[in-house]
Amino acid sequence: MKKILLIITIFTALVSQAQTSKWSDLFSYNNVLAIREDNGRLIAATENGIFYYNPSSGEITKLSKANGLHEVKISAFDYNPATKTGIVGYQNGSMDVITPNGIFLIVDIPLATGYNGSKKINHISINGDRAIISVGYGVSIFNIARREFGDTAFFATGGVYTAANSAVLKDNTIYVATNSGIKSHEINATFPVFTTWATIVAGAFKKIDANSVVAFANGTQVKYGNGANFSDLPGVFSNIQDLKVTDSQIIVTDQTQVYVYNTRGLLQKNFNVGENINTTLLYNNAIFVGTQTSGIYNEQKNSLKPDGPYNNRSYKLSLLNNQIWVASGSRDGDPADKKIGFYHYDGSKWNYPQYFLNTPILFNILDVVPDPANPTEVYFTNIITNEFSLTDKGVFKMRNNEFVKRYSFNDGNAYYYQPMGLAFDENNNLFCSVQCTIPSLSGFCTISSFYLFNKSNDNFGSTPFTTFTIGGAQKPVVKNGILYFAAPFTGDGGVLMYDYNNTPSQTSDDKFKVLKTTNNLPINGTSSVIVDNNDDVWIGNNLGLRTLSNPKSAILEDNPQTNEIIIEENGLAEELFRDAKILQIANDTGNQKWISVDGGGVFYLSSNGDRTIYHFTKANSPLPNDSVTDIKIDSKSGKVYFATFDGIMVYQGDVTDVTSNFGNVLVYPNPVVYAQYKGNVRIRGLASKTNIRITDAAGNLVHSAVANGGYFEWNLANQRGVRVASGIYYVLMTNEDGTDTATAKIAVVN
């Protein structure tokens, strides 16, 4: 069969190895921190990104680290519609300046000598070509046009710093809300000298704004005035979240309600939102509020936001038939919000089960998996840190995102088993890995095992399979009748390989092997395990990486040995990932490996690990942070999903379903215009092994190669290593046995 690829006429810009156009986010845009207006559209800043909403058309677009921003964890935002300039402040102290000419990262914010506190940007207020930046040690004046800092006032007395909670500029005077009063100073030569600042109102205040009047607030009280004399704004407030002053109004955002006053203190409007809110914008006399869980609300309580998960916190993922399930828990302790639960993308929209909002149960969900035979039924594990609480732990079943049943694991003895992870095998048997707690005792418990779900009896049985002194348990992996799980506890943890011979309910023919340091694991403490396309076992350890071939035979050996991967680095043989803590390993259909390293980002390796294809980090890619807790690959689309505690990022990989024949062959970018793109040309949709010949228009051989894994990259060099001339080049491809062929054209413009 012959396939012909036509020249792609639309150029796809790939700006670097970590190509921006190949990334997309699955961030939550629910928690709106600030809203601004720009000539008929609203701009909302959320935890991990910004979105734009056009009230007249309903159009929503978003801006995040996937397509322009440089960071996540937004803490402050302001926008000037006159100059089309926005400034985003982050918790780590950096800022993005968004202009019509691009987005510029600012990292050189002034730091006070000896200051060791938070670098978080607390507040930003733009006034003309200047922005007042509030931080934990004072305020700075930022010149927007030059993108540089001017004067900074460090609020320090005797080495003790006072945080600027928020600040505003009015009539060349800066007013600052602090926990020790409202402070003010004219912008002049003594501005940086803290002892010259005046405290005009005593007390602790967190919000301030100014326009025709100056207004400031603590949690329950608002004062307003001309900058010298102030009056109390009438009203009873419970927990003021934001304060905004326009030329004619004062807008108070309380815990769940919005109050609009004129500048004489008369109440004009009140809106009871009915849920927790952060901020308010009055646009065309209509109220728009930034909620904590529903995006922007208008006065009709319509939720306006990009579709996304309920929360950014993500730990483990499951993919099936264009659906996504996200577990939000953590092995290191309960999440900050112990009721988050899981989120579900049903193929068209994100859902958050109401069950998690309406139940008193605490949730720390480590895994969630759908039944492949009936994806409307979902199972998830729930553990909580308090080992003495037995009522909430277990596996929960949901049907159509409604609670059905909880299954607990107690063998009636001293142990109570915490469910750590779930996996279905090829025959739709469901396994749950468990580790013990000892409710009657305190301390470390090394007993681990797993349960098999009995669908006919709708239970996991009264006792686990054989127990193992292995040190905890991670999510299991099941392939070819063998169950694997890693054990993460340092001092006792290794890897269990349990061969149930494809008859899980019959144990008489079962065999198992526990791998530990005697099997060449670098340390007892293992975080992940996968089985690749060649049935080699890849083991991610707390101190490195190991592989094991032929696991069925290894289970029968007395002392099977795992192997390091040795690579050549600067002419020296080195062990791949020596001393690195491996968090997760994933295998694509081309048998290449994605490996995440704690604090080190993710690596994309060749099938045997001898070559690094990509290395993505927080610094060189849109990854939210450098500790990726899970990696999942959609083999049909080639998309790679990275879960982190700061949100999910998606990379459009080059490998889709790979077989011995060609798929949908695609060359990109094409044409290749040197002035716009200087990277490699990629070809995807190849056979698992492809012989490639590239010729010029006259039929002369320019380049030849053998591609493995379903894709190929050409650096546009000929066989002498020189970049080819402008022209049309033909790519002639055959699979390994010559039974399938494909051709393509590449246009090169130097």
Q: What are phi and psi of 22, to 5 degrees?
A: -90, 0
Q: What is the pLDDT of residue 19?
A: 42
Residue 438, in any domain of the structure: no
In the prediction, which pLDDT does 414 show? 55
413 has a pLDDT exceeding 60: no
Q: Which residue has better confidence, 50 or 418?
A: 50
Count structural domains, the chain. Answer: 2
Q: Does residue 385 lie in a domain region?
A: no
Per-residue pLDDT, 389: 57
Cα(181)–Cα(339) distance, integer angstroms: 37
238, two tokens: 């419970």
The pLDDT value recorded for residue 679 is 86
Model confidence pLDDT, tens digit, residues 360-399: 888 999 999 999 999 999 999 998 755 555 568 899 999 9
Nearest to 278 by CA among 254, 259, 303: 254
Residue 82 CB neighbour total at 10 angstroms: 10
CATH number at residue 690: 2.60.40.10
b/e map 504-532, b = 16+ CB within 10 Å: beeeeebeebbbbeebbbbbbbbbbbbbb
Query: What is the pLDDT, as a whole number, of residue 18?
Result: 34
Burial of 277 per CB tally in 10 Å (0-12, 13-18, 19+): buried
Q: For 669-692, what is the mean pLDDT?
A: 91
CA distances from 551 to 503, 556, 585, 634 (A): 18, 9, 18, 26
Query: Closest Cα to residue 623, out of 41, 64, 60?
Result: 64
Is 336 contained in some domain?
Answer: no
The whole-angstrom separation of Cα 264 and Cα 186 is 26
Q: 582-587 and 593-597: which strand pairing?
A: antiparallel
DSSP state of 353: -
Residue 569 CA: distances (Å) to CA of 352, 562, 566:
47, 22, 9
pTM reported for the whole predicted model:
0.90
In what helix (H) or strand (E) does residue 194 lie, and over which residues does it extend? Answer: none
Q: Which of helix, strand or coil describes residue 644?
A: strand
Count of beta carbons in the 10 Å neighbourhood of residue 200: 17
For residue 126, what are the domain limits?
26-304
Torsion, Cα 354 359 364 368, to 10 degrees, reads: -40
Identify whether the C-beta of residue 69 lies closer than 8 Å to the C-beta of residue 80.
Answer: no
pLDDT at 349 over 80: yes
Handedness of CA 570, 576, 582, 588 (dihedral sign): positive
Residue that terminates a domain, selected from 246, 270, 304: 304
Residue 508 falls inside a structural domain: no
415 close to 438: Cβ distance less than 8 angstroms: yes
Q: 737 in a domain, yes or no?
A: yes
Per-residue pLDDT tens digits for 712-748: 999 999 989 999 999 999 999 999 999 999 999 999 9
* pLDDT tens digits, 107-126: 988 888 788 899 999 999 99
Per-residue pLDDT of 499-526, as tens digits, reads 999 999 899 999 999 999 999 999 878 9
Q: Is residue 147 part of a domain?
A: yes
pLDDT digits (tens, 9 = 90+) for 14-35: 223 334 479 999 999 999 999 9
Q: Do the domain assignments include residue 360? A: no
DSSP 556: H
User: What average pLDDT score do residues 439-462 get?
Assistant: 81
Reduced 3-state DSSP string for 198-259 = EEEECCCCCEEEECCCEEEECCCCEEEECCCCEEECCCCCCCCCEEEECCCEEEEECCCEEE
- Ramachandran angles phi, psi of 150, nearest 5°: -105, -125
587-618: per-residue pLDDT in tens? 999 999 999 999 999 999 999 999 899 999 99
List CB contacts of 659: < 8 A, sequence separation 6 or more.
687, 688
Are 214 and 170 in contact by the 8 Å Cβ rule? The answer is yes
- How large is the average pLDDT for residues 137-155? 96
4: pLDDT confidence band, cut at 50, 70 and 90? very low
Chosen domain end from 276, 304, 332: 304
d(CA 321, CA 20): 26
Residue 173 lies in a domain: yes
pLDDT for the residue numbered 5: 31
What proportion of the chain, given as a percentage, has pLDDT over 90? 79
**Which one is predicted more confidently, 412 or 18?**
412
Q: Looking at residue 212, which CATH number applies to its domain?
A: 2.130.10.10
Domain boundary among 273, 304, 335: 304
